[in-house]
Chain A
């Protein structure tokens, strides 16, 4: 039990070696993340962007569901309009609306339209008008699963509701077998994953199930996961990672998470002649069936979740940009108009379908453009 004094020096050297080693290893590990981050593609030459009147800095905040679309738009827009800086902070719909009503951002992104009390509150900020919703980005919510040996799984809304409500517990349940004739389903427990944090995606799934399977899904469409049972993971990425990892798992997330991790997705039997797969094209067809329920300049949409149209994927999500119809802040008004004109332009919307989102149907989009042009 002798402790020599020069051990201190030796130990320091060893410690330094360990630290350096760890640093070197970490440096190696982080390399391949840089390339895939953000999923942003090539910037198309932004030719048709009109920067008229745009200047200075525009702050915006809100929904993370439209983050990737916003990133692309902002990048293209700023490349075309020098001297303009747009900063979209992707936080959450709730936070975006709070920031909008406090007047700290030029516009907010939100997964769901403003509630009446939020509109009431917005009148304080938009002194001469009120907050309105402009549908800007659509997208399918994919139901991903992991079941070795089973491809092209087909489910319908009541079955999905029962699976997520813990009423169907085995993959070879008769209800699933009925929809997947000719496939051999294993006698394996279903592990349904949902979001552990409050989320607009959860709320939209709840709206869909509540409309298309009212009997099987008795819960309110809330951001919080309502049903007992099942397992939770944090964020779309967390749910996707669990589905990818666990055999027998099923979960829901935006389509881009399924494509980027090659997770198979469920086709939904809507009552159309063939089950509909989750693609951005099919989602656009379902959004086309939506009606505008907002009054005046408000363009909040009412989606038709029970649509039986051929090839329309009904489990979709529409995110809005929230602005004042009149009474926008003078110093950012022109920039907001110019930027939203670009995002709602054909060119801006075309970008969406290339990245796992769904463009807003032309008819509604035309109204959006008209409204944007009339913002005061």
Chain B
């Protein structure tokens, strides 16, 4: 992450970053080339083999579990593979995973863009670098620590916010709090996930904003635009695709978060749109909670749910790749 990319004197009409530099002919003979080719090709193939075997393993074990499931794997609101008959379904998990991630995105993306703009365009240079480092440090905190912090500190302090939301926004249905209880809800999980995905979204957005061609900004300034107008007219349009792909990376992270969710959420197998009520569950949290005491079928069932998460994450990453590819020449978002 070269946070100090010099933007003082970019060449006019910036060329695509992958400038086709002519490789120098190797003078030391062709053996090195061959070895390097074999190594890099081998690594590439190895990656594909690993991914394929993970997918194969998941599919095989999942098919065993689903064939023994007496409920509907997609629509059942229960998780009891040890029962007689075994019944389990992913509806609640899919819903909880998506809802908590969406809440995280809604909170994190505007804040991350704000931080990135502040660092790249507003802050005095002396302040910008430390802020960038502090935000990046958030990524170094282990997720179980977020979980403990969330359960012991965040949850009690969110009770006031919950009551306030219930009082003034209860009419939205979503913020209507129908059950008493501390804030061990999907909403709290969303806030926690937002904090956790802030570093990746911020740092990728920052990189993109730093790559806005200087000429565009200067042209806008020359026309008499204020700083905000410069940002609105040249920085944000230029960075849009980068911010979107940064958000997708953050979303991918939020979807798979395990320990923090498992510690903070009060899981139950019910779907409720009242996000302030305790309840719900996510794929990763459910796997962590149920793995210990699971029997053979229980583990296969968890693996089946893992396959669904795998597919979901694949879709998100695929979407991110597509967006990056669409405006490849600008994006610095290859993190």
Q: Which residues of B are found within 8 Å of A94, using beta-carbon distances?
A: 292-295
Interchain residue pairs A-B with the least CB separation, the first 3: A11-B129, A198-B293, A189-B180
Q: Which residues of B are found within 8 Å of A228, using beta-carbon distances?
A: 268, 270
CA–CA, A196 and B262, complex, Å: 9
Report yes or no: A191 in contact with B293, Cβ–Cβ below 8 A. no
Does B327 count as interface, using CB distance less than 8 angstroms?
no
Stretch in A51-59, A178-186, A233-241, A302-310 touching the partner: A233-241
Report yes or no: A196 in contact with B293, Cβ–Cβ below 8 A. no
Q: Which residues of A are found within 8 Å of B156, using beta-carbon distances?
A: 245
Q: Which residue of A5, A10, A231, A234 contacts B182 across the interface (Cβ within 8 Å)?
A: A231
Report yes or no: B294 in contact with A232, Cβ–Cβ below 8 A. no
Q: How far is the CB of B4 from chain A (nearest CB, A)?
A: 4
Q: Which residue of A14, A222, A229, A234 contacts B289 across the interface (Cβ within 8 Å)?
A: A234
Does A42 count as interface, using CB distance less than 8 angstroms?
no
Q: How far is the CB of B87 from chain A (nearest CB, A)?
A: 11
Q: Which residues of B are found within 8 Å of A200, using beta-carbon distances?
A: 293
Q: Which residues of A are found within 8 Å of B130, using beta-carbon distances?
A: 11, 14-15, 18
Report yes or no: A233 in contact with B4, Cβ–Cβ below 8 A. no
A-B contact pairs, 18 of them (CB 8 A): A2-B8, A5-B4, A11-B130, A14-B133, A15-B130, A15-B133, A18-B134, A91-B292, A94-B292, A94-B295, A98-B296, A189-B181, A198-B292, A223-B293, A224-B82, A231-B184, A232-B278, A241-B151
Report yes or no: B289 in contact with A92, Cβ–Cβ below 8 A. no
| Chain B window 77-111, contacts with chain A (Cβ cutoff 8 Å), 1 for yes, 0 for no | 00110110000000000000000000000000000
Q: How far is the CB of B158 from chain A (nearest CB, A)?
A: 13
For window 256-312 of chain B, which residues contact chain A by CB distance below 8 Å?
262-263, 265-268, 270, 278, 289-290, 292-296
CA–CA, A5 and B7, complex, Å: 10
Report yes or no: B182 in contact with A191, Cβ–Cβ below 8 A. yes
CA–CA, A11 and B126, complex, Å: 8
Chain B residue nearest in CB terms to A226: B80
Say whether, besides A94-B295, A231-B278, A196 and B129 are in contact (CB < 8 Å). Answer: no
Q: How far is the CB of A367 from chain B (nearest CB, A)?
A: 29
Q: Which residues of A are found within 8 Å of B82, using beta-carbon distances?
A: 198, 222-224
Does A150 count as interface, using CB distance less than 8 angstroms?
no
Q: Which residues of B are found within 8 Å of A5, using beta-carbon distances?
A: 4, 6
Does B232 count as interface, using CB distance less than 8 angstroms?
no
Q: How far is the CB of B199 from chain A (nearest CB, A)?
A: 13
Does A246 count as interface, using CB distance less than 8 angstroms?
yes
Say whether, besides A92-B292, A231-B182, A232-B268, A18 and B137 are in contact (CB < 8 Å). Answer: yes
Q: How far is the CB of A118 from chain B (nearest CB, A)?
A: 10
**Interface-central residue, A22, A198, A199, by most chain B CB under 10 Å:** A198
Chain B residue nearest in CB terms to A245: B156
Q: Considering only CB atoms and an 8 Å cut-off, how many residues of chain B contact the other chain?
A: 44
Report yes or no: B262 in contact with A234, Cβ–Cβ below 8 A. yes
Chain A residue nearest in CB terms to B83: A222
Q: Which residue of A2, A11, A197, A231 contacts B293 across the interface (Cβ within 8 Å)?
A: A197
Q: Which residues of B are found within 8 Å of A15, using beta-carbon distances?
A: 129-130, 133
Q: How far is the CB of A89 from chain B (nearest CB, A)?
A: 12
| Chain B window 219-236, contacts with chain A (Cβ cutoff 8 Å), 1 for yes, 0 for no | 000000000000000000
Q: How far is the CB of A263 from chain B (nearest CB, A)?
A: 15
For window 1-44 of chain A, which residues contact chain B by CB distance below 8 Å?
1-5, 7-8, 10-11, 14-15, 18-19, 22
Does A204 count as interface, using CB distance less than 8 angstroms?
no
Q: Which residues of A are found within 8 Å of B83, using beta-carbon distances?
A: 222
Does B68 count as interface, using CB distance less than 8 angstroms?
no
Q: How far is the CB of A9 from chain B (nearest CB, A)?
A: 9
| Chain A window 195-211, contacts with chain B (Cβ cutoff 8 Å), 1 for yes, 0 for no | 01111100000000000
CA–CA, A198 and B301, complex, Å: 15
Q: How far is the CB of A38 from chain B (nearest CB, A)?
A: 19
CA–CA, A242 and B266, complex, Å: 11
CA–CA, A98 and B82, complex, Å: 14
Instruction: Give the secondary structure class of A's interface.
Output: mixed
Report yes or no: B125 in contact with A7, Cβ–Cβ below 8 A. yes
| Chain B window 60-80, contacts with chain A (Cβ cutoff 8 Å), 1 for yes, 0 for no | 000000000000000000011
Does A93 count as interface, using CB distance less than 8 angstroms?
yes
Report yes or no: A242 in contact with B293, Cβ–Cβ below 8 A. no
Chain B residue nearest in CB terms to A231: B266
Report yes or no: A198 in contact with B263, Cβ–Cβ below 8 A. no
Chain A residue nearest in CB terms to B182: A246
Does B3 count as interface, using CB distance less than 8 angstroms?
yes
Say whether, besides A7-B125, A94-B292, A197-B289, A231 and B181 are in contact (CB < 8 Å). Answer: yes
Chain A residue nearest in CB terms to B180: A189
Q: Which residue of B4, B140, B289, B292 contacts A3 across the interface (Cβ within 8 Å)?
A: B4
Say whether, besides A11-B130, A197-B290, A231-B278, A3 and B8 are in contact (CB < 8 Å). Answer: yes
Does B121 count as interface, using CB distance less than 8 angstroms?
yes
Q: Which residues of B are found within 8 Å of A197, using beta-carbon distances?
A: 289-290, 292-293
**Beyond the given A7-B129, A224-B80, A232-B266, could you list 5 further A-B residue pairs with CB under 8 A, ordered by the A residue number?**
A18-B134, A191-B182, A196-B266, A228-B270, A234-B263
Q: Which residue of B4, B126, B180, B293 contacts A93 across the interface (Cβ within 8 Å)?
A: B293
Does A346 count as interface, using CB distance less than 8 angstroms?
no
Does B152 count as interface, using CB distance less than 8 angstroms?
yes
CA–CA, A335 and B289, complex, Å: 34
Q: Which residues of A are found within 8 Å of B80, using beta-carbon distances?
A: 222, 224
Q: Which residues of B are found within 8 Å of A234, using beta-carbon distances?
A: 262-263, 289
Q: Which residues of A are found within 8 Å of B266, using beta-carbon distances?
A: 196, 231-233
Q: Which residues of A are found within 8 Å of B263, using beta-carbon distances?
A: 234, 238
CA–CA, A252 and B293, complex, Å: 19
Q: Which residues of A are found within 8 Å of B294, using beta-carbon distances?
A: 94, 198
Q: Which residues of B are found within 8 Å of A199, using beta-carbon distances?
A: 293
Chain A residue nearest in CB terms to B230: A1
Does A173 count as interface, using CB distance less than 8 angstroms?
no
Q: Which residues of A are found within 8 Å of B180, using beta-carbon distances?
A: 189, 191
Q: How far is the CB of A363 from chain B (nearest CB, A)?
A: 32
Report yes or no: B121 in contact with A1, Cβ–Cβ below 8 A. yes
Does A85 count as interface, using CB distance less than 8 angstroms?
no
CA–CA, A189 and B181, complex, Å: 8
Q: Which residues of B are found within 8 Å of A198, using beta-carbon distances?
A: 82, 289-290, 292-294
